């Protein structure tokens, strides 16, 4: 998740310093240390937010807001988690709020009517991987905010149920239920199941 | 309320602004000063725990001038960003001396001003 | 992860379509798939196989989507960093003002600015990384005439170092910087070693993800 420290930083900013120390410095008001953290973690967080929101522009806004919120609450952070995990959680929650505020694209009842079931077994369809990706992308909009967040973290980001539960702030049971519902909805939408 | 007949004891608003700008220039010209801290009121919100230096709105340019006790003694607060190569205390002293010199030249008959300098950054 | 053995309270979705014709619950079947559980029934039962096949198809689309999003690895973080830092600089937390020079000079430096110089000074000692650096204004808290500041600095030290010697060297560099770069009278420099760092790893350890 880290590791993309490509750009130059201000002198003495600790470009090769580990996250823990930089977070402590930033908590004590060292904005240069914070800029190193922003630069280092932005690519992974942008990737996460883009997956959650399906839009790069919205992802940039969400990540920017998340970093500002982090700067404001750093004095209370006390290194309870790694900075990366903490940011992951903040971005996830920020994206969840964005998703919740979205107008529903389509009522869930219509899911069954979406892609024709005949595609499911067509060999042509299997070669059209690109279409499947596009359909999947569109189908993601059918999920509720919580379903989408849990599914993206679990499936696209490959996180454990425990990690997802922590990031989203719900129980592992609830995460499992949401991932299941998301899978059911997506397999239906792709015509892959029922 | 304003005693406009007396010389400079009560400076009208515009004259005050001119004076603050004059003092800001004096501070900024001091050796080792990179620039005055922009928007000091906003930036130091809730950060300064030093005794409140009296009333008067903060000026955006990193200079605040008040006469808190009515004796005519100016209290000048300067917030500067210093150059990295310079020693912070020397920069602060130079800024203070520059401001004192300027005020003494402007108001030779007035008591010496009290000048507080804070280094808020290094570049 | 055997939660599926006791589904009544946790059955994630109600509805008739949850139960496959073979009697298994879809949730259970997919859960077993995810756990890669060895269950002969899943291989032999056509209903279960079909259900798993659906999930497999979803998986292949997911792989495509994952690769699609991989271009974010080339993401240029500079514009975003600049935007974030523009706002951060309007909301700085400079800490408290600390006295510069002689006690009655009325010259000050903000804690965060001084701390940055002192951390950098500590890091001029080979292998040392500086973390928390608090400056306590002794004058303000106790003795109004001392005009002196106590420095409390946390460092990561190289694993092989003789710590008392290392601490002495760091203390010396910090005192020098306080005097030469800042002009701050320092009463004491307290060094706390909070971690030992294997220097062969070249400062990469602790990088978290």
CATH code for the domain in which residue C126 is found: 3.30.70.1350
Mean pLDDT of chain B: 78
* Residue B88 to residue C183, Cβ atoms within 8 A: yes
Q: Is C9 left (phi over 0), alpha (psi -120 to 50) or beta?
A: alpha
* Residue A129 banded pLDDT, cuts 50, 70, 90: low
* Per-domain residue ranges of chain A: 1-102, 105-194
Q: Are residues C62 and C139 in the same domain?
A: no
Q: Which of residues 78-97 of A touch C (CB under 8 A)?
A: 82-85
How, if at all, do strands C149-158 and C186-197 pair?
parallel
With beta carbons less than 8 A apart as the criterion, state whether C23 and A97 touch: no
The predicted-structure confidence for A4-30, as pLDDT tens digits, reads as follows: 333 333 444 567 789 999 999 999 999
Residues C169, C132: one domain? yes
Q: Which residue has the higher pLDDT, B73 or B47?
A: B73
- How many whole angstroms separate alpha carbon B95 and alpha carbon B78? 8
Smallest CA–CA separation between C194 and chain B, in Å? 28
Which positions in chain C touch B92 (Cβ < 8 Å)?
Answer: 100-101, 105, 107-109, 183
Rounded to 5, what percent of chain C is helix, strand, coil? Answer: 50, 20, 35
Domain limit, last residue, from C71, C89, C110: C71
In this structure, the answer to whether residues C101 and C181 fall within a common structural domain is: yes
The pLDDT of residue B2: 42
* Together in a domain, C110 and C163: yes
Residue C166 lies in a domain: yes
Q: Tell me whether residues C208 and A85 touch, CB distance under 8 A.
A: yes
User: Which architecture does CATH list for A1-102?
Assistant: Orthogonal Bundle (1.10)
Distance, CA of C148 to CA of C144 (rounded, Å): 9
Contact A146, A182 (CB under 8 A): no
Range of the domain at C181: 97-201
CATH number belonging to domain B13-122: 3.30.70.1350
Q: Which residues of B touch C95 (CB under 8 A)?
A: 47
Which chains does A contact via 3+ CB–CB distances below 8 A? C
Residue C114 lies in a domain: yes
Average pLDDT over residues A44-63: 94
Is the Cβ pair C90, B118 closer than 8 Å?
Answer: no
Q: pTM, whole model, 2 decimals?
A: 0.80
Q: Which CATH architecture has domain A105-194?
A: Orthogonal Bundle (1.10)
Residue C136 — very low, low, confident or very high, per pLDDT cuts 50/70/90?
very high
Domains A1-102 and A105-194 alike in fold: no
Cβ(B76)–Cβ(B115) below 8 Å: yes
Distance of CA C134 to the CA centre of its chain: 20
pLDDT in tens, C31-80: 899 888 888 898 899 999 989 999 998 998 898 888 876 555 578 999 99
Give the residue from chain C lying closest to B83, CA to CA: C181
Chains touching chain C through at least 3 C-beta pairs below 8 angstroms are: A, B
* CB within 8 Å: C61 and A190: yes
pLDDT confidence tier of residue C137, bands split at 50, 70 and 90: confident
Residue C66 and residue C110 share a domain: no
Q: Which residue from A40, B48, A80 is spatially nearest to C137, judged by alpha carbons?
A: B48
Check CB contact of B97 with chain C, cutoff 8 Å. no
Does B119 contact C at CB distance below 8 Å?
yes
Check CB contact under 8 Å for C90 and B120.
no
Element (H, E) at A87: helix A83-101
Chain centre to alpha carbon of residue B54: 13
How many structural domains comprise chain C?
2
Q: Is C206 on the interface with B (CB under 8 A)?
A: no
* 161-190 of C, contacting B, C-beta below 8 A: 180-184
Tokens representing C24? 């298994």
Q: Is residue C85 part of a domain?
A: no
Would you list the domain boundaries of chain B?
13-122
Q: Do the Cβ atoms of A161 and A170 come closer than 8 Å?
A: no
Q: Is residue C80 part of a domain?
A: no
Q: How far apart are CA C171 and CA C94, in angstroms?
A: 23
Residue C154 lies in a domain: yes
Q: Which helix (H) or strand (E) holds B103?
A: helix B88-106
Q: Are C115 and A30 in contact (CB under 8 A)?
A: yes
């Amino acid at each position: 998740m880290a590791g993309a420290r490509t750009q130059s930083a201000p002198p003495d900013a600790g470009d090769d310093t580990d996250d823990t120390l930089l977070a402590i410095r930033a908590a004590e008001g060292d904005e240069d240390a914070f800029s190193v953290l922003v630069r280092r973690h932005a690519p992974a967080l942008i990737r996460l937010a883009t997956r959650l929101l399906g839009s790069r522009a919205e992802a940039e806004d969400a990540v920017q807001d998340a970093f500002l919120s982090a700067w404001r609450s750093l004095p209370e952070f006390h290194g309870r988690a790694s900075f990366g995990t903490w940011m992951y959680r903040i971005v996830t929650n920020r994206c969840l709020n964005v998703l919740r505020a979205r107008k529903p694209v389509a009522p869930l009842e219509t899911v069954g009517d979406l892609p024709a079931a005949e595609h499911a077994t067509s060999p042509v369809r299997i070669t059209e991987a690109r279409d499947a990706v596009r359909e999947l992308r569109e189908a993601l909009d059918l999920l509720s905010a919580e379903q989408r967040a849990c599914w993206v973290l679990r499936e696209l980001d490959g996180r454990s149920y425990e990690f997802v539960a922590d990031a989203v702030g719900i129980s592992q049971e609830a995460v499992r239920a949401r991932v299941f519902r998301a899978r059911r909805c997506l397999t239906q939408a792709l015509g892959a199941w029922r | 309320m304003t005693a406009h007949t007396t010389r400079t004891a009560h400076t009208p608003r515009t004259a005050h602004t001119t004076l603050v700008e004059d003092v800001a220039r004096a501070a900024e010209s001091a050796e080792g000063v990179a620039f005055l801290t922009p928007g000091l009121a906003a930036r130091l919100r809730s950060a300064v725990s030093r005794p409140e230096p009296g009333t008067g709105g903060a000026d955006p340019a990193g200079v605040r001038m008040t006469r808190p006790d009515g004796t005519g003694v100016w209290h000048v607060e300067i917030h500067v960003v210093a150059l990295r190569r310079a020693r912070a205390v020397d920069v602060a002293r130079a800024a203070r001396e520059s401001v004192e010199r300027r005020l003494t030249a402007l108001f030779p008959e007035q008591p010496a001003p009290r000048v507080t300098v804070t280094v808020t950054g290094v570049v | 992860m055997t939660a599926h053995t006791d589904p009544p309270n946790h059955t994630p979705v109600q509805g008739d379509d949850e139960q496959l014709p073979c009697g298994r619950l879809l949730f259970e079947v997919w859960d077993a798939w995810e756990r890669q559980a060895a269950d002969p029934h899943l291989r032999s039962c056509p209903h279960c196989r079909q259900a798993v096949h659906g999930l497999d198809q979803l998986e292949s689309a997911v792989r495509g989507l994952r690769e699609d999003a991989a271009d974010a690895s080339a993401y240029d973080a500079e514009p975003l960093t600049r935007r974030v830092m523009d706002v951060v600089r309007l909301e700085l937390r400079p800490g408290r003002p600390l006295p510069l020079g002689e006690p009655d000079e009325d010259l000050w430096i903000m804690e965060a600015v001084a701390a940055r110089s002192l951390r950098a000074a500590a890091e001029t000692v080979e292998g040392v990384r500086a973390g928390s650096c608090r400056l306590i204004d002794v004058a303000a808290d106790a003795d109004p005439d001392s005009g002196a500041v106590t420095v409390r600095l946390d460092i990561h030290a190289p694993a092989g170092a003789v710590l008392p010697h290392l601490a002495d060297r760091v203390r010396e560099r910090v005192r020098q910087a306080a005097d030469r770069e800042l002009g701050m009278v320092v009463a004491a420099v307290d060094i706390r070693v909070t971690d030992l760092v294997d220097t062969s790893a070249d400062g990469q350890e602790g990088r978290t993800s």
